[in-house]
Amino acid sequence: MGRWYCRLPLLLLFLVPGSSSASESNFELPDNAKQCFQEDIMQGTKGTLQFQVITGGHCDVDCRLEDPDGNGLYKKMKKQYDNYTFTASKNGTYKFCFSKEFSTFTHKTVYFDFQGGEDPPLLPGENRVRTLTQMQSVYVSIQEALKSVIDHQTHFRLREAQGRSSAEDLNTRVAYWLVREALILLVVSIAQVLLLKSFFSDKRTRTTCVES
């Protein structure tokens, strides 16, 4: 079965700025499989889970997020992309799983980004109400610009993965079509040769007959 690529919503890929702990990855989800990841989060920390199916089938996947006690915080079935934000109620390891047990034909490529907490302030006392110097304002502006650059790089990296998958699928389809076309031409050519040969064989047989 051919490989399919999915549209990538730009809005989803602009990630929450900064985190004290983060996991970001692309991975292959095989047919009829389930894959889980874990992240340690402190109580009271805000966490964000974002995911996007890049290639495969109808570009959908099941996703479930559990707290350290195994209680479900988030569960969606057959989603192409989504994001979920929560506040950790306790310290421990939070687990999120992706599965495609409903599908047994195509593997999928899934991107996810899990972030917990916030980055420490760039400047001492940045969170206090006070006037920043011109140099400090430049530091803060550069930091925000770099975050925006990282978000755009993530977006274009995933778009490049989609384009590569689409190109590979197109190349495979063209190769199969060329082989099939070559076989058809070979069969037609052999049939034409045999047909012409049968015409000449009938003519030779009729001309060699002699009356007694």
- How is residue 178 written in tokens? 């060329």
Burial label for 41, CB within 10 Å (0-12, 13-18, 19+), is buried
- What is the pLDDT confidence band of residue 123, given thresholds at 50, 70 and 90? low
Q: Chain-wide mean pLDDT for the chain?
A: 77
- What is the pLDDT confidence band of residue 12, given thresholds at 50, 70 and 90? very low
Long-range contacts of 120-127 (CB under 8 A, 24+ apart): 120/20
Looking at the domain that runs over 10-166, which CATH code has it been given? Answer: 2.60.120.380
Distance CA 113, CA 99 (A): 16
- Answering whether pTM is above 0.75, one says no
Q: Which amino acid is at 170?
A: L
- How is residue 10 written in tokens? 């730009």
Residue extents of the structural domains in the chain: 10-166
Distance CA 92, CA 68 (A): 5
> 138-158, pLDDT tens digit by residue?
877 887 888 788 777 777 777
Distance CA 193, CA 2 (A): 36
Type and span of the H or E element at 155: helix 134-207
Highest mean pLDDT of the ranges 27-36, 88-97, 120-129: 88-97
